[in-house]
């Protein structure tokens, strides 16, 4: 639809729950989206953090662990 210059609206948020061992991890965003930088808030060692995947000035995905 984008190629036909039609307006496309997303009415859902792509959400993927993942279990790595006993730790639940949640990814919010489209799968396989490109990114150039990762910004992590929180403590990875304590398994309580939020990681933002950035492509330029856009956030293309969010990974949460421990929330």
Domain assignment present for residue 59? The answer is yes
- pLDDT, residue 20, reads 87
Q: Is 45 or 13 the better-scoring residue by pLDDT?
A: 45
Any domain includes 2:
no
Backbone region of residue 35 per phi and psi (left: phi > 0; alpha: psi in -120 to 50; beta: other values) = beta
pLDDT at residue 32 in the model = 87
Residues spanned by the domain of 55: 13-65
54 assigned to some structural domain: yes
Q: How many CA atoms lie within 13 A of 59 on its CB side?
A: 11
Are 50 and 42 in contact, with CB atoms under 8 Å apart?
yes
Kindly tell me if the per-residue pLDDT of 23 is higher than 70: yes
Residue 31 domain-assigned (yes or no): yes
Is 1's pLDDT higher than 50?
no
Assess contact for 52 and 58: CB atoms under 8 A. Answer: no
Domains in the chain, number: 1
Is the pLDDT at 66 greater than 60, yes or no? yes
Residue 34's pLDDT is what?
92
């Amino acid at each position: 639809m984008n190629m036909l210059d039609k307006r496309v609206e997303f009415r859902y948020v792509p959400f993927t729950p993942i279990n790595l061992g006993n730790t639940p991890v949640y990814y919010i965003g489209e799968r396989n989206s490109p990114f150039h930088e990762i910004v992590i808030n929180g403590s990875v060692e304590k398994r309580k953090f939020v990681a933002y995947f950035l492509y330029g000035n856009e956030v293309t995905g969010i990974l949460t662990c421990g929330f």
